[in-house]
Structure 1
Protein backbone atom coordinates (compact mmCIF):
# COMPACT_ATOMS: atom_id res chain seq x y z
CA UNK A 1 0.00 0.00 0.00
CA UNK A 2 2.84 2.36 0.82
CA UNK A 3 4.38 1.78 -2.61
CA UNK A 4 1.08 2.13 -4.48
CA UNK A 5 0.39 5.45 -2.75
CA UNK A 6 3.64 6.68 -4.30
CA UNK A 7 3.38 4.97 -7.69
CA UNK A 8 -0.17 5.92 -8.72
CA UNK A 9 0.18 9.74 -8.37
CA UNK A 10 3.56 9.59 -10.13
CA UNK A 11 2.00 7.66 -13.04
CA UNK A 12 -0.83 10.20 -13.21
CA UNK A 13 1.77 12.96 -13.47
CA UNK A 14 3.58 11.10 -16.24
CA UNK A 15 0.34 10.55 -18.19
CA UNK A 16 -0.68 14.19 -17.77
CA UNK A 17 2.67 15.29 -19.17
CA UNK A 18 2.44 12.92 -22.11
CA UNK A 19 -1.10 14.08 -22.98
CA UNK A 20 -0.55 17.81 -22.45
CA UNK A 21 3.16 18.65 -22.10
CA UNK A 22 2.85 22.45 -22.07
CA UNK A 23 -0.01 22.45 -19.55
CA UNK A 24 1.85 19.93 -17.38
CA UNK A 25 4.93 22.18 -17.32
CA UNK A 26 2.76 25.08 -16.12
CA UNK A 27 1.28 22.83 -13.44
CA UNK A 28 4.73 21.76 -12.24
CA UNK A 29 5.89 25.39 -12.14
CA UNK A 30 2.92 26.25 -9.93
CA UNK A 31 3.04 23.15 -7.74
CA UNK A 32 6.62 23.69 -6.50
CA UNK A 33 6.10 27.03 -4.68
CA UNK A 34 2.61 26.00 -3.55
CA UNK A 35 3.98 22.91 -1.82
CA UNK A 36 7.08 24.67 -0.48
CA UNK A 37 5.36 27.72 1.03
CA UNK A 38 1.91 26.46 2.03
CA UNK A 39 1.04 22.76 1.82
CA UNK A 40 4.22 21.20 3.21
CA UNK A 41 4.58 23.60 6.18
CA UNK A 42 0.95 22.95 7.18
CA UNK A 43 1.57 19.21 6.88
CA UNK A 44 4.50 19.57 9.26
CA UNK A 45 2.35 21.47 11.75
CA UNK A 46 -0.28 18.72 11.88
CA UNK A 47 2.10 15.73 11.81
CA UNK A 48 4.39 17.00 14.57
CA UNK A 49 1.50 18.32 16.68
CA UNK A 50 -0.09 14.86 16.67
CA UNK A 51 3.17 13.27 17.85
CA UNK A 52 4.45 12.93 21.41
CA UNK A 53 7.74 14.78 20.81
CA UNK A 54 9.06 13.86 24.26
CA UNK A 55 8.60 10.13 23.68
CA UNK A 56 10.44 9.88 20.36
CA UNK A 57 13.24 12.39 20.93
CA UNK A 58 15.27 9.93 23.02
CA UNK A 59 17.07 7.03 21.39
CA UNK A 60 15.50 6.88 17.94
CA UNK A 61 15.95 10.49 16.82
CA UNK A 62 19.73 10.73 17.54
CA UNK A 63 20.18 7.39 15.78
CA UNK A 64 18.20 8.53 12.73
CA UNK A 65 20.24 11.74 12.56
CA UNK A 66 23.53 9.84 12.84
CA UNK A 67 22.56 7.47 10.02
CA UNK A 68 21.65 10.34 7.71
CA UNK A 69 24.90 12.20 8.42
CA UNK A 70 26.97 9.05 7.80
CA UNK A 71 25.34 8.46 4.42
CA UNK A 72 25.67 12.14 3.48
CA UNK A 73 29.35 12.10 4.48
CA UNK A 74 30.04 9.08 2.26
CA UNK A 75 28.47 10.80 -0.76
CA UNK A 76 30.26 14.06 0.04
CA UNK A 77 33.61 12.25 0.12
CA UNK A 78 32.83 10.72 -3.27
CA UNK A 79 31.77 14.10 -4.65
CA UNK A 80 34.98 15.77 -3.51
CA UNK A 81 37.14 13.00 -4.97
CA UNK A 82 35.13 13.07 -8.22
CA UNK A 83 35.50 16.88 -8.35
CA UNK A 84 31.79 17.56 -8.51
CA UNK A 85 30.46 21.09 -8.01
CA UNK A 86 29.26 22.22 -4.60
CA UNK A 87 25.67 22.20 -5.83
CA UNK A 88 25.96 18.63 -7.15
CA UNK A 89 27.52 17.43 -3.89
CA UNK A 90 24.84 19.13 -1.78
CA UNK A 91 21.92 17.71 -3.77
CA UNK A 92 23.55 14.27 -3.95
CA UNK A 93 24.21 14.21 -0.21
CA UNK A 94 20.59 15.10 0.53
CA UNK A 95 19.36 12.48 -1.96
CA UNK A 96 21.55 9.87 -0.24
CA UNK A 97 20.29 10.66 3.27
CA UNK A 98 16.75 12.12 3.21
CA UNK A 99 14.15 9.34 3.48
CA UNK A 100 10.53 9.09 2.38
CA UNK A 101 9.35 8.52 5.94
CA UNK A 102 5.88 10.04 5.52
CA UNK A 103 4.53 7.67 2.86
CA UNK A 104 6.62 4.53 3.19
CA UNK A 105 7.83 4.71 6.77
CA UNK A 106 4.49 4.60 8.59
CA UNK A 107 3.14 1.31 7.13
CA UNK A 108 6.55 -0.38 7.30
CA UNK A 109 7.10 0.68 10.92
CA UNK A 110 3.63 -0.55 11.89
CA UNK A 111 4.14 -3.94 10.23
CA UNK A 112 7.71 -4.45 11.40
CA UNK A 113 7.74 -2.93 14.88
CA UNK A 114 4.07 -2.41 15.67
CA UNK A 115 4.84 1.23 16.52
CA UNK A 116 5.37 4.46 14.59
CA UNK A 117 8.13 5.61 16.98
CA UNK A 118 11.03 4.84 14.56
CA UNK A 119 9.40 6.68 11.64
CA UNK A 120 8.39 9.70 13.73
CA UNK A 121 12.00 9.88 14.95
CA UNK A 122 13.16 9.96 11.31
CA UNK A 123 10.67 12.74 10.58
CA UNK A 124 11.86 14.78 13.55
CA UNK A 125 15.54 14.32 12.64
CA UNK A 126 14.87 15.33 9.06
CA UNK A 127 12.51 18.22 9.70
CA UNK A 128 14.23 19.77 12.72
CA UNK A 129 17.86 19.26 11.69
CA UNK A 130 18.46 17.97 8.16
CA UNK A 131 15.99 20.12 6.20
CA UNK A 132 17.24 23.41 7.74
CA UNK A 133 20.85 22.26 7.23
CA UNK A 134 20.43 21.39 3.55
CA UNK A 135 18.28 24.43 2.79
CA UNK A 136 20.95 26.63 4.39
CA UNK A 137 23.65 24.97 2.28
CA UNK A 138 21.52 25.41 -0.86
CA UNK A 139 21.02 29.08 0.00
CA UNK A 140 24.72 29.69 0.60
CA UNK A 141 25.68 27.97 -2.65
CA UNK A 142 23.11 29.93 -4.61
CA UNK A 143 24.25 33.15 -2.93
CA UNK A 144 27.89 32.45 -3.77
CA UNK A 145 26.99 31.73 -7.40
CA UNK A 146 25.07 35.01 -7.62
CA UNK A 147 28.01 36.99 -6.21
CA UNK A 148 27.04 37.41 -2.55
CA UNK A 149 30.40 37.92 -0.85
CA UNK A 150 29.79 40.16 2.16
CA UNK A 151 29.46 38.64 5.62
CA UNK A 152 26.17 40.48 6.16
CA UNK A 153 24.60 38.97 3.05
CA UNK A 154 25.82 35.49 3.95
CA UNK A 155 24.38 35.90 7.44
CA UNK A 156 21.09 37.01 5.91
CA UNK A 157 21.09 33.96 3.67
CA UNK A 158 21.65 31.67 6.66
CA UNK A 159 18.84 33.31 8.66
CA UNK A 160 16.40 33.10 5.74
CA UNK A 161 17.35 29.47 5.11
CA UNK A 162 16.98 28.41 8.74
CA UNK A 163 13.66 30.26 9.03
CA UNK A 164 12.23 28.48 6.00
CA UNK A 165 8.50 27.63 5.91
CA UNK A 166 9.02 23.90 6.53
CA UNK A 167 11.12 24.44 9.64
CA UNK A 168 8.69 27.02 10.96
CA UNK A 169 5.90 24.50 10.46
CA UNK A 170 7.83 21.92 12.49
CA UNK A 171 8.47 24.44 15.28
CA UNK A 172 4.78 25.36 15.47
CA UNK A 173 3.83 21.67 15.54
CA UNK A 174 6.40 20.94 18.26
CA UNK A 175 5.06 23.79 20.41
CA UNK A 176 1.51 22.45 20.06
CA UNK A 177 2.73 18.94 20.92
CA UNK A 178 4.64 20.07 24.00
CA UNK A 179 1.73 22.23 25.13
CA UNK A 180 -0.69 19.38 24.41
CA UNK A 181 -3.12 21.84 22.87
CA UNK A 182 -5.04 21.80 19.60
CA UNK A 183 -6.71 24.75 17.88
CA UNK A 184 -10.50 24.59 17.46
CA UNK A 185 -11.73 21.91 15.05
CA UNK A 186 -13.14 24.50 12.62
CA UNK A 187 -9.55 25.78 12.15
CA UNK A 188 -7.60 22.53 12.58
CA UNK A 189 -9.58 20.51 10.01
CA UNK A 190 -8.97 22.89 7.05
CA UNK A 191 -5.28 23.19 7.99
CA UNK A 192 -5.02 19.39 8.06
CA UNK A 193 -6.80 19.11 4.71
CA UNK A 194 -4.42 21.55 3.00
CA UNK A 195 -1.41 19.89 4.59
CA UNK A 196 -2.47 16.46 3.38
CA UNK A 197 -2.46 17.77 -0.20
CA UNK A 198 1.31 18.25 0.02
CA UNK A 199 2.38 14.66 -0.65
CA UNK A 200 0.15 13.95 -3.68
CA UNK A 201 1.09 17.31 -5.20
CA UNK A 202 4.80 16.53 -4.78
CA UNK A 203 4.28 13.14 -6.39
CA UNK A 204 2.41 14.67 -9.34
CA UNK A 205 5.24 17.18 -9.88
CA UNK A 206 7.75 14.35 -9.69
CA UNK A 207 5.81 12.34 -12.29
CA UNK A 208 5.74 15.33 -14.64
CA UNK A 209 9.50 15.73 -14.22
CA UNK A 210 10.03 12.04 -15.01
CA UNK A 211 8.07 12.37 -18.25
CA UNK A 212 9.96 15.49 -19.25
CA UNK A 213 13.31 13.84 -18.71
CA UNK A 214 13.65 10.08 -18.44
CA UNK A 215 15.60 8.68 -15.45
CA UNK A 216 19.32 8.13 -16.06
CA UNK A 217 19.16 9.97 -19.40
CA UNK A 218 22.07 12.24 -18.45
CA UNK A 219 25.16 10.05 -18.67
CA UNK A 220 27.40 12.47 -16.80
CA UNK A 221 25.24 11.95 -13.69
CA UNK A 222 25.28 8.13 -13.73
CA UNK A 223 28.20 7.89 -11.31
CA UNK A 224 26.51 10.23 -8.85
CA UNK A 225 23.27 8.26 -9.20
CA UNK A 226 24.93 4.91 -8.48
CA UNK A 227 26.80 6.20 -5.43
CA UNK A 228 23.69 7.93 -4.09
CA UNK A 229 21.57 4.79 -4.50
CA UNK A 230 24.27 2.71 -2.82
CA UNK A 231 24.44 5.14 0.11
CA UNK A 232 20.68 5.20 0.56
CA UNK A 233 19.95 1.48 0.25
CA UNK A 234 23.20 -0.05 1.55
CA UNK A 235 25.23 2.39 3.65
CA UNK A 236 22.29 3.63 5.74
CA UNK A 237 20.76 0.22 6.61
CA UNK A 238 24.17 -1.32 7.37
CA UNK A 239 25.07 1.68 9.55
CA UNK A 240 21.68 1.27 11.26
CA UNK A 241 22.46 -2.37 12.03
CA UNK A 242 25.94 -1.53 13.38
CA UNK A 243 24.93 1.50 15.44
CA UNK A 244 21.50 0.23 16.49
CA UNK A 245 22.80 -3.03 17.92
CA UNK A 246 26.23 -2.65 19.56
CA UNK A 247 26.06 1.13 20.20
CA UNK A 248 22.42 1.82 21.10
CA UNK A 249 21.63 -1.69 22.39
CA UNK A 250 18.59 -2.39 20.23
CA UNK A 251 17.59 -5.92 19.28
CA UNK A 252 14.75 -7.88 17.71
CA UNK A 253 11.90 -5.92 16.16
CA UNK A 254 13.29 -2.61 17.39
CA UNK A 255 16.59 -3.15 15.58
CA UNK A 256 14.80 -4.35 12.46
CA UNK A 257 12.61 -1.24 12.55
CA UNK A 258 15.66 1.04 12.59
CA UNK A 259 17.31 -0.91 9.76
CA UNK A 260 14.08 -0.78 7.73
CA UNK A 261 13.89 2.98 8.22
CA UNK A 262 17.45 3.20 6.94
CA UNK A 263 16.42 1.37 3.76
CA UNK A 264 13.53 3.72 2.93
CA UNK A 265 13.67 5.40 -0.50
CA UNK A 266 14.70 9.00 -1.05
CA UNK A 267 11.88 11.49 -0.42
CA UNK A 268 10.37 13.57 -3.21
CA UNK A 269 11.02 16.58 -0.94
CA UNK A 270 14.62 16.55 -2.16
CA UNK A 271 13.48 17.26 -5.71
CA UNK A 272 11.14 20.04 -4.52
CA UNK A 273 13.84 21.65 -2.32
CA UNK A 274 16.46 21.47 -5.07
CA UNK A 275 14.12 22.88 -7.72
CA UNK A 276 12.95 25.71 -5.50
CA UNK A 277 16.51 26.80 -4.68
CA UNK A 278 17.79 26.55 -8.24
CA UNK A 279 19.97 23.51 -7.60
CA UNK A 280 20.56 20.74 -10.20
CA UNK A 281 17.68 18.24 -9.99
CA UNK A 282 18.85 15.37 -12.21
CA UNK A 283 20.53 13.37 -9.44
CA UNK A 284 17.66 13.96 -7.03
CA UNK A 285 15.16 12.74 -9.60
CA UNK A 286 17.17 9.67 -10.62
CA UNK A 287 17.96 8.55 -7.06
CA UNK A 288 14.39 9.08 -5.90
CA UNK A 289 13.07 6.99 -8.80
CA UNK A 290 15.56 4.15 -8.37
CA UNK A 291 15.32 3.89 -4.59
CA UNK A 292 11.52 3.92 -4.76
CA UNK A 293 11.73 0.82 -6.96
CA UNK A 294 14.52 -0.94 -5.05
CA UNK A 295 13.53 -0.09 -1.48
CA UNK A 296 10.99 -2.90 -1.04
CA UNK A 297 13.54 -5.64 -1.93
CA UNK A 298 16.05 -3.94 0.40
CA UNK A 299 13.58 -3.90 3.30
CA UNK A 300 12.61 -7.54 2.67
CA UNK A 301 16.29 -8.56 2.54
CA UNK A 302 16.90 -6.79 5.84
CA UNK A 303 13.94 -8.62 7.42
CA UNK A 304 15.24 -11.97 6.15
CA UNK A 305 18.82 -11.36 7.32
CA UNK A 306 17.64 -10.29 10.78
CA UNK A 307 15.44 -13.34 11.09
CA UNK A 308 12.03 -11.66 10.93
Structure 2
Protein backbone atom coordinates (compact mmCIF):
# COMPACT_ATOMS: atom_id res chain seq x y z
CA UNK A 1 0.00 0.00 0.00
CA UNK A 2 3.01 2.29 0.43
CA UNK A 3 3.35 2.46 -3.36
CA UNK A 4 -0.15 3.88 -3.70
CA UNK A 5 0.59 6.68 -1.24
CA UNK A 6 3.99 7.37 -2.83
CA UNK A 7 2.40 7.76 -6.26
CA UNK A 8 -0.16 10.25 -4.98
CA UNK A 9 2.44 12.10 -2.89
CA UNK A 10 4.71 12.60 -5.92
CA UNK A 11 1.91 14.22 -7.87
CA UNK A 12 0.91 16.38 -4.91
CA UNK A 13 4.44 17.75 -4.51
CA UNK A 14 4.74 18.80 -8.16
CA UNK A 15 1.28 20.40 -8.09
CA UNK A 16 2.32 22.24 -4.92
CA UNK A 17 5.37 23.59 -6.77
CA UNK A 18 3.06 25.05 -9.42
CA UNK A 19 0.86 26.55 -6.70
CA UNK A 20 3.88 28.10 -4.96
CA UNK A 21 5.24 29.55 -8.20
CA UNK A 22 1.87 31.20 -8.82
CA UNK A 23 1.64 32.40 -5.22
CA UNK A 24 5.06 34.03 -5.48
CA UNK A 25 3.98 35.56 -8.81
CA UNK A 26 6.84 33.87 -10.65
CA UNK A 27 4.28 32.30 -13.00
CA UNK A 28 0.76 33.48 -13.84
CA UNK A 29 -2.21 32.49 -16.03
CA UNK A 30 -0.20 33.09 -19.22
CA UNK A 31 2.37 30.55 -18.01
CA UNK A 32 -0.43 28.10 -17.30
CA UNK A 33 -1.65 28.40 -20.89
CA UNK A 34 1.90 28.17 -22.28
CA UNK A 35 2.67 25.03 -20.25
CA UNK A 36 -0.62 23.44 -21.32
CA UNK A 37 0.13 24.18 -24.97
CA UNK A 38 3.64 22.76 -24.60
CA UNK A 39 2.19 19.59 -23.07
CA UNK A 40 -0.51 19.27 -25.73
CA UNK A 41 1.51 19.97 -28.88
CA UNK A 42 4.97 18.63 -28.01
CA UNK A 43 5.52 16.78 -24.74
CA UNK A 44 2.39 14.59 -24.63
CA UNK A 45 2.76 13.30 -28.21
CA UNK A 46 6.39 12.43 -27.46
CA UNK A 47 5.39 10.69 -24.22
CA UNK A 48 2.61 8.73 -25.92
CA UNK A 49 4.95 7.60 -28.66
CA UNK A 50 7.43 6.41 -26.05
CA UNK A 51 4.79 4.62 -23.95
CA UNK A 52 2.99 2.95 -26.85
CA UNK A 53 6.14 1.59 -28.46
CA UNK A 54 6.95 -0.14 -25.15
CA UNK A 55 3.44 -1.43 -24.46
CA UNK A 56 3.28 -5.26 -24.60
CA UNK A 57 0.48 -5.69 -27.15
CA UNK A 58 0.05 -9.37 -26.32
CA UNK A 59 -0.97 -8.35 -22.80
CA UNK A 60 -3.61 -5.81 -23.78
CA UNK A 61 -5.78 -7.44 -26.41
CA UNK A 62 -8.02 -9.26 -23.96
CA UNK A 63 -11.21 -9.05 -21.93
CA UNK A 64 -9.47 -6.37 -19.86
CA UNK A 65 -9.45 -4.09 -22.92
CA UNK A 66 -13.16 -4.70 -23.55
CA UNK A 67 -13.91 -4.04 -19.88
CA UNK A 68 -12.04 -0.72 -19.97
CA UNK A 69 -13.94 0.43 -23.07
CA UNK A 70 -17.36 -0.69 -21.86
CA UNK A 71 -16.86 0.84 -18.42
CA UNK A 72 -15.86 4.12 -20.02
CA UNK A 73 -18.88 4.08 -22.33
CA UNK A 74 -21.34 3.31 -19.53
CA UNK A 75 -20.05 6.07 -17.24
CA UNK A 76 -19.99 8.66 -20.03
CA UNK A 77 -23.56 7.70 -20.96
CA UNK A 78 -24.61 8.11 -17.32
CA UNK A 79 -22.95 11.51 -17.15
CA UNK A 80 -24.64 12.68 -20.36
CA UNK A 81 -28.00 11.53 -19.04
CA UNK A 82 -27.56 13.35 -15.73
CA UNK A 83 -26.17 16.44 -17.49
CA UNK A 84 -29.17 16.59 -19.80
CA UNK A 85 -31.57 16.40 -16.86
CA UNK A 86 -29.74 18.79 -14.50
CA UNK A 87 -27.66 21.15 -16.68
CA UNK A 88 -29.51 21.88 -19.90
CA UNK A 89 -27.62 23.41 -22.79
CA UNK A 90 -23.87 23.43 -23.14
CA UNK A 91 -21.67 22.86 -26.15
CA UNK A 92 -20.37 19.56 -27.43
CA UNK A 93 -16.95 20.46 -26.07
CA UNK A 94 -18.37 21.21 -22.62
CA UNK A 95 -20.15 17.86 -22.49
CA UNK A 96 -16.97 16.13 -23.67
CA UNK A 97 -14.95 17.64 -20.82
CA UNK A 98 -17.60 16.56 -18.34
CA UNK A 99 -17.76 13.02 -19.71
CA UNK A 100 -13.99 12.65 -19.85
CA UNK A 101 -13.65 14.04 -16.33
CA UNK A 102 -16.06 11.33 -15.14
CA UNK A 103 -14.51 8.39 -16.99
CA UNK A 104 -10.96 9.05 -18.30
CA UNK A 105 -8.58 7.62 -15.71
CA UNK A 106 -5.05 8.63 -14.78
CA UNK A 107 -3.55 5.46 -16.18
CA UNK A 108 -0.14 6.97 -16.86
CA UNK A 109 1.67 8.78 -14.08
CA UNK A 110 -0.59 7.26 -11.38
CA UNK A 111 -1.73 4.05 -13.03
CA UNK A 112 1.76 2.77 -13.77
CA UNK A 113 3.14 3.01 -10.20
CA UNK A 114 -0.11 1.69 -8.73
CA UNK A 115 -0.09 -1.21 -11.19
CA UNK A 116 3.47 -1.97 -10.14
CA UNK A 117 3.02 -1.73 -6.36
CA UNK A 118 -0.60 -2.81 -5.92
CA UNK A 119 -1.16 -5.21 -8.83
CA UNK A 120 2.42 -6.46 -9.10
CA UNK A 121 2.84 -5.86 -12.87
CA UNK A 122 2.70 -2.72 -15.01
CA UNK A 123 1.16 -4.80 -17.82
CA UNK A 124 -2.18 -4.79 -15.94
CA UNK A 125 -2.71 -1.10 -16.75
CA UNK A 126 -1.78 -1.54 -20.42
CA UNK A 127 -5.35 -2.37 -21.62
CA UNK A 128 -6.68 0.91 -20.24
CA UNK A 129 -3.74 2.83 -21.68
CA UNK A 130 -4.38 1.29 -25.09
CA UNK A 131 -8.13 1.97 -24.95
CA UNK A 132 -7.62 5.59 -23.92
CA UNK A 133 -4.70 6.47 -26.18
CA UNK A 134 -5.71 4.72 -29.39
CA UNK A 135 -9.51 4.69 -29.29
CA UNK A 136 -10.98 7.19 -26.83
CA UNK A 137 -8.48 10.04 -27.27
CA UNK A 138 -8.53 10.13 -31.11
CA UNK A 139 -12.33 10.21 -31.13
CA UNK A 140 -12.43 12.90 -28.43
CA UNK A 141 -9.84 15.03 -30.25
CA UNK A 142 -11.82 14.85 -33.49
CA UNK A 143 -14.98 15.94 -31.66
CA UNK A 144 -13.15 18.76 -29.86
CA UNK A 145 -11.76 20.05 -33.15
CA UNK A 146 -15.19 19.92 -34.80
CA UNK A 147 -16.72 21.79 -31.86
CA UNK A 148 -13.98 24.44 -31.93
CA UNK A 149 -14.60 25.03 -35.64
CA UNK A 150 -18.36 25.03 -35.28
CA UNK A 151 -18.65 22.05 -37.63
CA UNK A 152 -21.05 19.17 -37.41
CA UNK A 153 -19.09 15.97 -36.66
CA UNK A 154 -18.91 13.55 -39.59
CA UNK A 155 -16.86 10.41 -40.17
CA UNK A 156 -14.69 12.04 -42.83
CA UNK A 157 -13.99 15.13 -40.77
CA UNK A 158 -13.39 12.99 -37.71
CA UNK A 159 -10.75 10.91 -39.46
CA UNK A 160 -9.01 14.01 -40.79
CA UNK A 161 -9.00 15.57 -37.33
CA UNK A 162 -7.61 12.37 -35.79
CA UNK A 163 -4.72 12.25 -38.26
CA UNK A 164 -3.86 15.92 -37.75
CA UNK A 165 -4.06 16.02 -33.96
CA UNK A 166 -0.61 15.79 -32.26
CA UNK A 167 -1.90 13.61 -29.40
CA UNK A 168 -3.33 11.04 -31.80
CA UNK A 169 -0.31 11.15 -34.09
CA UNK A 170 2.03 10.39 -31.20
CA UNK A 171 -0.03 7.40 -30.01
CA UNK A 172 -0.45 5.93 -33.50
CA UNK A 173 3.25 6.37 -34.28
CA UNK A 174 4.18 4.54 -31.10
CA UNK A 175 1.79 1.69 -31.90
CA UNK A 176 3.19 1.32 -35.43
CA UNK A 177 6.73 1.16 -34.06
CA UNK A 178 5.64 -1.59 -31.65
CA UNK A 179 3.71 -3.58 -34.28
CA UNK A 180 6.51 -3.36 -36.84
CA UNK A 181 9.11 -4.11 -34.15
CA UNK A 182 11.20 -1.13 -35.16
CA UNK A 183 14.15 0.11 -33.15
CA UNK A 184 14.73 3.84 -33.37
CA UNK A 185 18.35 5.01 -33.31
CA UNK A 186 19.46 6.73 -30.13
CA UNK A 187 19.83 10.06 -31.93
CA UNK A 188 16.04 9.92 -32.53
CA UNK A 189 14.72 8.09 -29.47
CA UNK A 190 16.71 10.06 -26.88
CA UNK A 191 15.32 13.52 -27.83
CA UNK A 192 11.79 12.08 -28.03
CA UNK A 193 12.14 10.56 -24.56
CA UNK A 194 13.54 13.85 -23.22
CA UNK A 195 10.61 15.82 -24.67
CA UNK A 196 8.15 13.25 -23.35
CA UNK A 197 9.59 13.61 -19.86
CA UNK A 198 8.30 17.20 -19.82
CA UNK A 199 4.66 16.17 -20.28
CA UNK A 200 3.64 15.21 -16.75
CA UNK A 201 5.58 17.98 -14.93
CA UNK A 202 4.21 20.59 -17.36
CA UNK A 203 0.63 19.45 -16.82
CA UNK A 204 1.00 19.27 -13.04
CA UNK A 205 2.64 22.68 -12.70
CA UNK A 206 -0.03 24.25 -14.93
CA UNK A 207 -2.62 22.55 -12.74
CA UNK A 208 -1.02 23.96 -9.59
CA UNK A 209 -1.06 27.47 -11.10
CA UNK A 210 -4.78 27.10 -11.79
CA UNK A 211 -5.45 26.06 -8.19
CA UNK A 212 -3.79 29.26 -6.92
CA UNK A 213 -4.99 31.74 -9.52
CA UNK A 214 -8.46 30.31 -10.15
CA UNK A 215 -11.56 30.02 -7.97
CA UNK A 216 -11.67 27.72 -4.96
CA UNK A 217 -12.40 24.08 -6.00
CA UNK A 218 -16.08 23.08 -6.07
CA UNK A 219 -17.21 26.55 -5.06
CA UNK A 220 -20.40 28.34 -5.98
CA UNK A 221 -23.06 27.15 -8.39
CA UNK A 222 -20.82 24.55 -10.05
CA UNK A 223 -20.36 22.52 -6.86
CA UNK A 224 -23.10 19.97 -7.60
CA UNK A 225 -21.72 19.48 -11.12
CA UNK A 226 -18.22 18.82 -9.79
CA UNK A 227 -19.37 16.43 -7.07
CA UNK A 228 -21.53 14.52 -9.56
CA UNK A 229 -18.52 14.04 -11.82
CA UNK A 230 -16.32 12.96 -8.89
CA UNK A 231 -18.92 10.45 -7.65
CA UNK A 232 -19.17 8.93 -11.13
CA UNK A 233 -15.38 8.70 -11.36
CA UNK A 234 -14.37 7.23 -8.01
CA UNK A 235 -17.51 5.32 -6.98
CA UNK A 236 -19.66 4.45 -9.98
CA UNK A 237 -16.91 3.59 -12.45
CA UNK A 238 -15.24 0.92 -10.26
CA UNK A 239 -18.66 -0.62 -9.62
CA UNK A 240 -19.40 -0.65 -13.35
CA UNK A 241 -15.98 -2.19 -14.07
CA UNK A 242 -16.68 -4.89 -11.49
CA UNK A 243 -20.01 -5.76 -13.11
CA UNK A 244 -18.67 -5.68 -16.66
CA UNK A 245 -15.59 -7.69 -15.71
CA UNK A 246 -17.69 -10.40 -14.03
CA UNK A 247 -20.00 -10.51 -17.06
CA UNK A 248 -16.99 -10.99 -19.38
CA UNK A 249 -15.62 -13.81 -17.25
CA UNK A 250 -12.82 -12.01 -15.43
CA UNK A 251 -11.89 -13.41 -12.04
CA UNK A 252 -9.08 -13.12 -9.51
CA UNK A 253 -6.16 -10.83 -10.33
CA UNK A 254 -7.56 -9.83 -13.73
CA UNK A 255 -10.81 -8.62 -12.15
CA UNK A 256 -8.90 -6.91 -9.34
CA UNK A 257 -6.81 -5.06 -11.95
CA UNK A 258 -9.75 -3.63 -13.91
CA UNK A 259 -11.56 -2.48 -10.75
CA UNK A 260 -8.48 -0.75 -9.29
CA UNK A 261 -7.71 0.88 -12.64
CA UNK A 262 -11.31 2.14 -12.93
CA UNK A 263 -11.00 3.71 -9.47
CA UNK A 264 -8.03 5.87 -10.51
CA UNK A 265 -8.74 9.64 -10.48
CA UNK A 266 -9.39 11.82 -13.50
CA UNK A 267 -6.31 12.19 -15.69
CA UNK A 268 -4.42 15.50 -15.67
CA UNK A 269 -4.47 15.71 -19.46
CA UNK A 270 -8.22 16.43 -19.34
CA UNK A 271 -7.26 19.79 -17.84
CA UNK A 272 -4.84 20.30 -20.73
CA UNK A 273 -7.63 19.59 -23.22
CA UNK A 274 -9.98 21.96 -21.38
CA UNK A 275 -7.42 24.78 -21.55
CA UNK A 276 -6.57 24.02 -25.18
CA UNK A 277 -10.19 24.10 -26.35
CA UNK A 278 -11.44 26.63 -23.73
CA UNK A 279 -14.19 24.37 -22.47
CA UNK A 280 -15.08 23.82 -18.78
CA UNK A 281 -11.57 24.53 -17.47
CA UNK A 282 -12.73 24.93 -13.87
CA UNK A 283 -14.83 21.75 -13.97
CA UNK A 284 -11.87 19.72 -15.26
CA UNK A 285 -9.53 21.25 -12.69
CA UNK A 286 -11.86 20.62 -9.77
CA UNK A 287 -12.72 17.07 -10.84
CA UNK A 288 -9.02 16.19 -11.07
CA UNK A 289 -8.18 17.82 -7.75
CA UNK A 290 -11.02 16.25 -5.72
CA UNK A 291 -11.00 12.84 -7.40
CA UNK A 292 -7.25 12.51 -6.75
CA UNK A 293 -7.82 12.77 -3.00
CA UNK A 294 -11.11 10.83 -3.02
CA UNK A 295 -9.65 7.89 -4.94
CA UNK A 296 -7.01 7.11 -2.30
CA UNK A 297 -9.38 5.55 0.29
CA UNK A 298 -11.41 3.93 -2.48
CA UNK A 299 -8.37 2.17 -3.98
CA UNK A 300 -7.15 1.14 -0.54
CA UNK A 301 -10.63 -0.26 0.27
CA UNK A 302 -10.78 -2.18 -3.03
CA UNK A 303 -7.32 -3.63 -2.44
CA UNK A 304 -8.23 -4.64 1.11
CA UNK A 305 -11.51 -6.23 -0.01
CA UNK A 306 -9.92 -8.30 -2.78
CA UNK A 307 -7.07 -9.43 -0.52
CA UNK A 308 -9.60 -10.42 2.15
CA UNK A 309 -11.71 -12.37 -0.36
CA UNK A 310 -8.59 -14.10 -1.67
CA UNK A 311 -7.80 -15.26 1.85
CA UNK A 312 -11.32 -16.48 2.63
| TM-score (normalizing by structure 2) | 0.90
Q: Does the CA contact (< 8 Å) of 1:52 and 1:178 recur in 2?
A: no
Aligned residues: 301
2:173 corresponds in structure 1 to 172
| Aligned structure 1 segments of 4 or more residues deviating by more than 6 angstroms | none
1:221 corresponds in structure 2 to 222
Q: Does the CA contact (< 8 Å) of 2:64 and 2:245 recur in 1?
A: no
2:30 corresponds in structure 1 to 26
Q: 2:112 aligns with which of 106, 116, 120?
A: 106
Q: Does the CA contact (< 8 Å) of 1:112 and 1:256 recur in 2?
A: no
2:3 corresponds in structure 1 to none
1:185 corresponds in structure 2 to 186
Question: Residues 72-151 of structure 1 correspond to what in structure 2 (within 5 A)?
Answer: 72-82=76-86, 83-86=88-91, 87-144=93-150, 148=151
Distance 1:89 1:57 in 2: 29
Q: Does the CA contact (< 8 Å) of 1:6 and 1:203 recur in 2?
A: yes
Q: How far has the Cα of 1:215 moved from its partner?
A: 3.7
Distance 2:219 2:253 in 1: 40
Pair 1:250 & 2:250 matched: yes
Q: How far has the Cα of 1:176 moved from its partner?
A: 0.8
1:61 corresponds in structure 2 to 65
1:8 corresponds in structure 2 to 13
Cα RMSD after superposing both structures: 1.9
Unaligned runs of 5+ in 2: 1-5
Q: Does the CA contact (< 8 Å) of 1:260 and 1:299 recur in 2?
A: yes
The 1:256/1:209 distance shift into structure 2, 3 A limit, reads: same
Unaligned runs of 5+ in 1: none
Q: 1:50 aligns with which of 54, 59, 66?
A: 54
> Is the partner of 1:31 in helix, strand or coil?
helix
Pair 1:17 & 2:22 matched: yes
Q: How far has the Cα of 1:29 moved from its partner?
A: 2.2
> Is the partner of 2:149 in helix, strand or coil?
helix
| TM-score (normalizing by structure 1) | 0.92
Distance 2:256 2:290 in 1: 23
Q: Does the CA contact (< 8 Å) of 1:64 and 1:122 recur in 2?
A: yes
